[in-house]
Structure 1
Amino acid sequence: MSTYAIGDPQGCQTSLLRLLDEVKFDPAADRLWLVGDLVNRGPDSLAVLRFVKSLGESAISVLGNHDLHLLALAEGYGRAHKGDTLDAVLAAPDRDELLAWLRQRKLAWREGDFLMVHAGVLPGWTLDDTMQRAAEAEAVLHGAHYRDFFAQMYGNAPVAWDEDLQGVERLRVIVNAFTRLRYCTPTGEMEFHHKGAPGTQPAGWLPWFEVPGRQSAAATLVFGHWS
């Protein structure tokens, strides 16, 4: 059995299938880790969702920012962006089934010394902290009151974790870290505007995975978002 990790399909079903064919992926024997952003930007988000869902337990996918954007739009929150390619999903006859399945994906997945997230992990979070924070937000996303979170999901503030945070501000920091983080200060203040490659960021910011003393450094991190 082999485990393959793939980043950010973003609605590119043909490319995804070609890649799986290249590695001779066998869903009966192998496992597939997908780091989120199954949808948007590419031409066939609907096919990607249907395909990954059809793989059942052979595929593990965590939530990315584009996945959450789709879920929020479906509930009437947020606004569509110019480059969105989500209309086919929203108009599909099986949209409710697909969206319910997508919403039940996790924000972080850990097996042994491997940890998968979509974007990042704040430098002050240990592996146990990371999984506890993920579970806290997942309980809301998977629960009966998920619409309340989507109504207030969008926003950059607060930009840093504080254990005393409560309510939607606490959840927003957790979700932003897992699904949007690229750069932060050594103390964990997140920066969301710069999207260039490492080395192009403004002074004072570091790629989150290069922060000295990062508390999750003992694990092998599997993540995407930089595409």
Structure 2
Amino acid sequence: MAIYLVGDIQGCCKELTALLAQVKFSPEHDKLYLAGDLVARGPDSLDTLRLVKSLGKSAKVVLGNHDLHLLAVHAGIRKEKASDHLSKLLAAPDIDELMDWLASQPLLQKVAHSNLVADSKSKVKHAYISHAGISPQWDLLTAKKQAKFVHQRLASNERSYWLSVMYGDEANSWSEAKTDIEKFKFSINALTRMRYCFQDGSLEFTQNKAPDKNDNLNTLNQDSIENIVPWFELSETINQTPWVFGHWASLMGNASHPNIYPLDTGCVWGNHLTMLRWHDKKYFTQIAENKA
């Protein structure tokens, strides 16, 4: 069994299909972890969801912010954006089935060991995957607990209610999240929207550019924002626990911390889709056919 991890697909189904063929992916023997944002802005969101769903237990999904937006649109909570190219998906005869499947997916997954890695005495550490990363204000136990908290509510009969309360930039500090709704919002923001944080670990939502090669953030035109750093520069958890994430296309797979694996390389923007084979850390890429 080989384990593969892939970055944000965003409806780029042809590129995903080509990557799976490139690595000779076998649903019977291999596992595919997907870092969220399966849909939106690309041309084939419907085909992407159908393909991933058809892989059954061999596909391990975490939800991204665009996936959550789709669920909110389907529930009538948010309006469809023309730039998301979701009309074909929303009009599909199996849309309800697809949305129930999508809503049942978690926000955090533990990456299982491959049988291509040595036995239980191996020093290879378990990794985790989430769309945006792990909040510097959380340890691993808290992240797992909060991801489960969100998952249970989105997979419940009260899905529409929880989707309706998930929005809000004000939920940016874990220490200030007291109620279930505040904790839900913060967890959504931390696991699916986070890129930069302030020095105290609270979340900053306006910047999406990558730091320059010297981690100098002065290039971000942040006249009113100071002292922000990439979340992974503050997280203690990733010093011990490898972390795989997507969401931050401008990083183009590059980050300063050796224990993280950013996989969003902007396929939907005309760059390429990236897949990582876990046991030997080999990367595979597929050039984008289109540009959003």
Fold agreement, TM-score > 0.5: yes
Distance in 2 (CA, whole Å) between partners of 1:27 and 1:153 is 34
The residue type equivalent to 1:74 in the other structure is: H
Q: Which residue is equivalent to 1:131?
A: 144
Q: Which residue is equivalent to 1:59?
A: 59
Distance in 2 (CA, whole Å) between partners of 1:208 and 1:34 is 21
Distance in 1 (CA, whole Å) between partners of 2:144 and 2:65 is 18
The residue type equivalent to 2:185 in the other structure is: R
Q: Which residue is equivalent to 1:90?
A: 90
Cα distance, 1:155 vs structure 2: 1.6
Distance in 2 (CA, whole Å) between partners of 1:109 and 1:178 is 11
Stretches of structure 2 that go unaligned for 5 or more consecutive residues are 112-124, 213-218, 250-292
Does 2:211 align with 1:198? yes
Stretches of structure 1 that go unaligned for 5 or more consecutive residues are none
Question: CA contact under 8 A between 1:35 and 1:62: conserved in structure 2?
Answer: yes
Distance in 2 (CA, whole Å) between partners of 1:97 and 1:78 is 19
Distance in 1 (CA, whole Å) between partners of 2:247 and 2:157 is 28
The more displaced of 198-207 and 106-115 is: 198-207
Cα distance, 1:214 vs structure 2: 2.0
Runs of 4+ in structure 1 over 6 Å off = none
Cα distance, 1:19 vs structure 2: 1.1
Over aligned residues, Cα RMSD in angstroms? Answer: 1.4
Q: Structure 2 length as normaliser, TM-score?
A: 0.74
Question: CA contact under 8 A between 1:184 and 1:191: conserved in structure 2?
Answer: yes
What does 1:18-167 correspond to in 2, within 5 Å? 18-111=18-111, 113-162=126-175, 165-167=178-180
Q: Which has the larger radius of gyration?
A: 2
The residue type equivalent to 1:219 in the other structure is: T
Distance in 1 (CA, whole Å) between partners of 2:180 and 2:137 is 21
Cα distance, 1:207 vs structure 2: 0.8
The residue type equivalent to 1:121 in the other structure is: I
Does 2:191 align with 1:178? yes
The count of aligned residue pairs is 226
Q: String of CA shifts for 1:116-141, please: whole Å, max 9, x gaps.
A: 00012111211111101101111111
Does 2:201 align with 1:188? yes
Question: CA contact under 8 A between 1:78 and 1:154: conserved in structure 2?
Answer: no
Question: CA contact under 8 A between 1:125 and 1:216: conserved in structure 2?
Answer: no
The residue type equivalent to 1:68 in the other structure is: L
SS at match of 1:17: helix
The sequence identity of aligned pairs, in percent, is 43
Distance in 2 (CA, whole Å) between partners of 1:164 and 1:77 is 23
